[in-house]
A = this chain, B = another copy of it.
């Protein structure tokens, strides 16, 4: 089999605060860490069962997720910066610290 997607892991990217798209304008840069990859090897009996129960229409019109998702398990410390209007801002839970399949 070919490796289509790497398993869920922590990635990082240097971006400016503006590029975060939260509405702040600042040329300061932050290390944005995020979770990426597949959780194929974290599937549980729960997921298989939920998928089958849904397939048999025993669950209708409900938002259920029958596969684990690769998500942050913990977040980095808050980030602070001086924006273009010389005002200081602090923003929490922007960057992931630890990732996992849940």
| Chain A interfacial positions (CB closer than 8 Å to B) | 5, 11, 13, 15, 19-22, 32, 34-38, 44-46, 48-53, 55-56, 58-59, 62-65, 68-73, 75, 91-96, 102
Tell me whether chain A's interface is mostly helix, strand or loop, or mixed.
Answer: mixed
Centre residue among A35, A45, A48, A70 by max chain B CB count within 10 A:
A45
User: A91 — which chain B residues lie within 8 A by C-beta?
Assistant: 45
Interchain CB contact (< 8 A) of A37 among B63, B95, B96:
B63
| 11 A-B interface contacts by CB (under 8 A) | A11-B62, A19-B58, A20-B45, A21-B48, A21-B52, A34-B59, A36-B63, A38-B63, A45-B94, A69-B69, A73-B102
CB pair B56 A19 closer than 8 Å = yes
User: A11 — which chain B residues lie within 8 A by C-beta?
Assistant: 62
* Alpha-carbon distance A5/B53, docked complex (angstroms): 19
CB pair B70 A65 closer than 8 Å = yes
Q: A44-B93, A59-B13, A69-B69 are in contact. Are A64 and B34 (CB under 8 A)?
A: yes
